[in-house]
Amino acid sequence: MSVVISGTGLFTPKDFITNDELVESYNKYVDIYNSENKKEISAGEVEALTPSDAAFIKKVSGIEKRYVLDKEGILDPHRMRPNLEKRPNDQISIQAEISISACMEALDQAGKSPNDVDAVICGCANLQRAYPAVAIEIQKELGIEGYAYDMNVACSSSTFALQNAVNDILSGVAKCILVVNPDICSGHLNFKDKNGHFIFGDACTAILLEKKGINHSKDCFEILGTKLKTSFSNNIRNNFGFLNKPENSDADDPDKLFIQKGKSVFKEVVPMVVEMITTHLEENNIAIEDVSRFWLHQANSNMNTLISKRLLGRDPDIKEVPVILNEYANTSSAGSIIAFHKNKEDLVSGQLGVICSFGAGYSVGSIIIRKD
């Protein structure tokens, strides 16, 4: 028995912010901050902020724009964060709402209905509440029987959730599972931080997995193997949590949002990813040159280029290693799945590919697939 991916879906917000727009807003904030702290800056008590630059952002990251759920609040130099309306408990949550859209596209692509689904796994870097599980809310809204749960392995949540789904299907617990990744990254990004204010965007992806043989889609990918690895690091961190109040922590402290040591992450994660993919392919007796496509986590174009060069021993072709972060920025768990969703239809039966996510933890997940 084997498992196939029979459908994928994507929710993309209507609002987007270009680098120029983001920089203009940030630089207005810099002017306001420096003006309000003029005396302290002159006395050497406070360090003056320096402006951001759109060309520099593109050079260091490859990002040109990002989609967000709310543009106005982010670009307001007096606010610098999304302005999302609080919803009552009897109204569908934001994460569940965007998940439904992605899930329905995945179901439609697979020729399935919610009645065919046995479980929902919601894997993303940030969940908007502790409980009840967002996955159970998605399950309820779609009218799915069975079970559902949330999980978080940061940017690797999608591949880790995929392995869980594969294991459940192979063990006979379920025949058909929806994996959904609703990452609202603008909610945990510090837009007042020059070094990171451009990194993230919002999106939601969904993947339908089924026992091979019960699928109706003509566009299926058989999962040949999954491999996961984690190694603890503080270089990417977010300290927001339910113990903040008991610890008397300030909710506005920068560490309650995304923080990272970018150079250390680059240096340490690249070899970890290369080793993971290389080993995973060797374990499945697959030569690197037999892989037609690598759908990598979309965090930084320079990082993905280096990973690709080390894997292939040459510069990659744009089709071999698709890039979507120029348009979407880093969408955390959704990134590699967006790349897969938008760059899979041209593959023919028998061609091989690798979906690979990596990020905070550190965590790396690799999924080897073959076009059915």
> Does the residue 66 lie in any domain?
no
Rounded mean pLDDT, 14-28:
98
Residue of 335, 63, 345 lying closest to 197 (CA atoms): 63
> Does the residue 318 lie in any domain?
yes
What pLDDT does 150 receive?
98
Tell me the one-letter amino acid at 11: F
Q: Residue 213 — very low, low, confident or very high, per pLDDT cuts 50/70/90?
A: confident
> Does the residue 183 lie in any domain?
no
> Does the residue 30 lie in any domain?
no
Structurally, the chain folds into a number of domains equal to: 1
Cβ proximity of 263 and 297 under 8 Å: no
Rounded mean pLDDT, 25-39:
97
What pLDDT does 6 receive?
97
Is residue 48's pLDDT more than 80?
A: yes
What pLDDT does 125 receive?
96
Is residue 37's pLDDT more than 90?
A: yes
Cβ proximity of 338 and 13 under 8 Å: no
> Does the residue 287 lie in any domain?
yes
Q: How far apart are CA 20 and CA 56, in angstroms?
A: 11
Is residue 235's pLDDT more than 80?
A: yes
Q: How far apart are CA 357 and CA 337, in angstroms?
A: 9
Is residue 217's pLDDT more than 80?
A: no
The boundaries of the domain holding residue 242 are 221-371
What pLDDT does 39 receive?
93
Is residue 350's pLDDT more than 90?
A: yes
H or E, element range at 6: strand 3-11
What pLDDT does 100 receive?
98
Work out the angle at residue 96's Cα, subtended by the Cα atoms of residues 259 and 180, and round it to the nearest 5 degrees. 70
Beta bridge mates, 222 = 4, 370
How does pLDDT run across 309-349, given as a tens digit for each residue?
Answer: 999 999 999 899 999 999 999 999 999 999 999 999 999 99
Q: How far apart are CA 260 and CA 265, in angstroms?
A: 8
How does pLDDT run across 271-285, given as a tens digit for each residue?
Answer: 999 999 999 999 999
Output the six-digit token pair for 328.
């979407």
Is residue 211's pLDDT more than 90?
A: yes
pTM: 0.96
- Choosing from 155, 176, 185, 356, the catalytic residue is 155
Mean pLDDT of the chain: 96
Cα distance from N-terminal residue to C-terminal residue, the chain: 14
Is residue 1's pLDDT more than 90?
A: no
H or E, element range at 65: strand 65-68
Q: How far apart are CA 116 and CA 145, in angstroms?
A: 9
Q: Residue 132 — very low, low, confident or very high, per pLDDT cuts 50/70/90?
A: very high
What pLDDT does 45 receive?
94
Q: How far apart are CA 259 and CA 157, in angstroms?
A: 18
How does pLDDT run across 91-130, given as a tens digit for each residue?
Answer: 999 999 999 999 999 999 999 999 999 999 999 999 999 9
What pLDDT does 287 receive?
97
> Does the residue 321 lie in any domain?
yes
Cβ proximity of 318 and 339 under 8 Å: no
Q: How far apart are CA 132 and CA 130, in angstroms?
A: 7
Query: How far out from the chain centre does Cα 224 lie?
Result: 23
Q: How far apart are CA 87 and CA 101, in angstroms?
A: 18
Q: Residue 215 — very low, low, confident or very high, per pLDDT cuts 50/70/90?
A: confident
Range of weakest confidence among 22-26, 128-132, 215-219, 362-366: 215-219
Q: How far apart are CA 102 and CA 329, in angstroms?
A: 18
Residue of 198, 207, 217, 309 lying closest to 258 (CA atoms): 198
Q: Residue 146 — very low, low, confident or very high, per pLDDT cuts 50/70/90?
A: very high
Cβ proximity of 352 and 344 under 8 Å: no
> Does the residue 312 lie in any domain?
yes
82 contact partners, CB below 8 Å, separation of at least 6: 68, 69, 70, 73, 74, 184, 186, 187
Output the six-digit token pair for 284.
């499945």
> Does the residue 227 lie in any domain?
yes
User: Is 155 a catalytic site residue?
Assistant: yes
Cβ proximity of 292 and 347 under 8 Å: yes
Alpha helices by DSSP H, 116-261: 134-142, 157-170
% of the chain beyond a pLDDT of 90:
94
Return the CATH number at 312. 3.40.47.10
**DSSP letter, residue 74:** H
What pLDDT does 151 receive?
97
Output the six-digit token pair for 19.
């680098």
Q: How far apart are CA 7 and CA 157, in angstroms?
A: 18
What pLDDT does 79 receive?
97
% of the chain beyond a pLDDT of 70:
100
Q: Is the dihedral of CA 191, 194, 196, 199 positive or negative?
A: positive
